[in-house]
Chain A
Amino acid sequence: MAIPDKRMTESEVIGELRSGMTIGIGGWGSRRKPMSLIRELLRSDLEDLTIVSYGGPDVGLLSRAGKVRKVVSGFVSLDSIALEPHYRIARQSGAIEAAEWDEGMLLLGLQAAAWRVPFLPTRAGLGTDLPTLMPELRTVTSPYPSPDGVADEPLLAVPALHLDAALIHMHRADQGGNGQFLNSDLYMDDLMAMGADRCYMSCEQIVATEDFPKFGSHHTQRISRLMTAGVVERRGGAHFTECPPDYGRDEAFQKEYAATAKSDEAWDAFRAKYLDVPEADYQRLVGIGS
């Protein structure tokens, strides 16, 4: 077997990104987010980023740290805490630009990018305030009658969400960048990977290619190395978001994080303790591997 070796460190991955890029982040809410890559991004001097995400603490942290110009999302939530407090503050203070799409529209935008078409049509958004508030959303008139025979139907044309880079987190991967998910939902991680110029994948564990079947059926091997430019092995890489069956969400830590929205002092203390430190120190502090 001639599997390439795409192993990288978090800092090598973030070193390939540039300010002003559009970056897709996999996962959903506070679920299986590539958090060790996000933490490395927070340590970098990158800024002016456009983030595309089914948002969770990835969006909150990057917004709070001033890394973000614009967020394109279907929502930003911590799941057990319905509203992401830092995103909420960033929206209410006008610190960031936002495109808040329907959740399904985000899927279509990513799919369009993955297929290299300029848009995909949908009825989602018609009749709502989405097209008025976000004038980049246009409609098209269908050149064909619909399956139920309606002619000239206007549909919302969801623009392709082309990504300069995508960051995703898988349970297992091989050194060539094939990835395996072991929880109940891939979310849109495959679309993120295919819609990006370069997709970087962290994983809980790098395994030999022939060992994937030890962890799950072939249906779980949904990320092909065709889609990935680099792979980072990081146990606990999704902490504090959930990554079952390897681990659940660290709810106590998430509460501590959410409470930092209360004051600048609280955020500064959190940042100094958990973010302005090497990943190994973070992992020790939060008890990964203990």
Chain B
Amino acid sequence: MSNEAVLEDGAPTRAEICCVAVAECFRGDGEILANPIGTIPMIGGRLARESFEPHLVMTDGFAGFAANPLPPGADPADAVLEAWNPYPQMFQVLWNGRRHVMMGGSQFDRFGNQNFVCIGDWRQPRFQLLGFRGAPGNTINHTTSYWVPAHNAKTFVERVDVVSGVGNDRAAALPAEGGRFHELRRVVTNLAVLDFETPDRSMRLRSLHPGVTVDEVVAATGFELTIPDSVPESRLPTDEELRLIREVIDPAGLRYTEVPRD
């Protein structure tokens, strides 16, 4: 554990840069349900609320909204419950639209169509995955971001096998403004931050995590990604953000189970 202490005093790790990149997804969201799913997403969301986005509402991971910054995996009994939110109520919130979810996915195409249903033909899949779960309702009703802990060309593909989360091209094609509540904000990966700020709303490289090159990201992406002339580095955590991550939100270091130490 002495080694741990030295590292914890040191420079920000890749996992911590990812946490900050996740937190940045929620900047400006105000008083909505920030609902990041996954370890680094949960840490990043709580970091946003403990710093620049204090009015976010967040779950305890179960059937409630917790006012306090619970570490990932915490017992819901430790939550300061601000409202009861069992599953039937959660659907009320998401159809109402006051929510920004961060989900995962097994495949994404350049317009952000997402698949975590299965690999292969849905009628008899080669690999059954999660099914559609909440992705259709989430993506069509409110803001969605994604977290991809292992950026590679098997995940970022030309064509997804099944569309569970709606991408920008499909949302735009819906008649009668059917996609007006759809918003894909960002895709945060272990290498970079991607967004959709292009004329056709396809994916663009927004920033590179320190130490990652454009070529690395291009090689790990199975479709043509828009690369701006100059790509900034992802923002480093401030000292206060590092303290919050290391001492308050994730003292157990669970972030390293998703993005190992450099």
Contact = CB atoms under 8 A, between A and B. Distances in A.
Interface of A: 28, 73-77, 82-83, 87-88, 91-94, 100-105, 107, 122-130, 133, 148, 150-154, 184-188
| Most A C-beta atoms less than 10 A away, residue of B62, B94, B131, B134 | B131
B165 A128 contact: yes
19 contacts: A73-B131, A74-B133, A75-B132, A87-B128, A92-B126, A93-B124, A102-B135, A123-B140, A124-B95, A125-B140, A126-B178, A127-B136, A129-B162, A130-B132, A130-B136, A148-B180, A184-B86, A185-B62, A186-B88
A188 B132 contact: no
Contacts of A74: 131-134
Contacts of A186: 86, 88
B137 interface: yes
A103 B118 CA distance: 16
Interface string B97-138: 000000000000000000001100011111111111111110
A129 B163 contact: yes
Nearest to A77: B130
B120 to A, nearest CB: 9
A127 B87 contact: no
Interface string B49-90: 000000000000011100000000000100000001011100
Contacts of A105: 136-137
Contacts of B177: 150, 153
Given A91-B118, A188-B88, 15 more contacts: A77-B130, A87-B128, A94-B124, A101-B132, A102-B136, A103-B132, A104-B91, A123-B137, A123-B141, A126-B179, A127-B179, A129-B163, A150-B180, A153-B178, A184-B63
Contacts of A75: 130-133
A154 B178 contact: yes
Nearest to B130: A75
B166 interface: yes
A74 B87 CA distance: 12
Contacts of A187: 86-88
B162 to A, nearest CB: 5
Contacts of B63: 184-185
B170 A127 contact: yes
A61 B24 CA distance: 43
B84 A128 contact: no
B9 to A, nearest CB: 35
B223 interface: no
Nearest to B117: A100
A123 B212 CA distance: 39
Interface residues of B, number: 50
Nearest to A187: B87
A102 B141 CA distance: 13
Q: Tell me the dominant secondary structure on chain B's binding face.
A: loop
A123 B130 contact: no
A104 B124 contact: no
A205 to B, nearest CB: 22
B124 A92 contact: yes
Nearest to B168: A127
A150 B127 CA distance: 40
Nearest to A153: B176
Contacts of B1: none
Contact of B133 (A87, A103, A107, A127): A103
B164 A129 contact: yes
Given A104-B95, A151-B176, A124 B140 contact: yes
A88 B118 CA distance: 10
B129 to A, nearest CB: 7
B106 to A, nearest CB: 12
A74 B88 CA distance: 13
Given A122-B95, A122-B137, A128-B165, A100 B170 contact: no
A91 B170 CA distance: 27
B171 A127 contact: yes
B163 A123 contact: no
A87 B179 CA distance: 33
A233 to B, nearest CB: 25
Given A28-B87, A185-B63, A104 B134 contact: yes
B174 interface: yes
A101 B181 CA distance: 20
B130 A83 contact: yes
B147 to A, nearest CB: 16
Nearest to B86: A185
Contacts of B255: none
A115 to B, nearest CB: 15
Nearest to A185: B86
Nearest to A95: B124
B137 A100 contact: no
A153 to B, nearest CB: 4
A126 B65 CA distance: 29
B131 A152 contact: no
A155 to B, nearest CB: 8
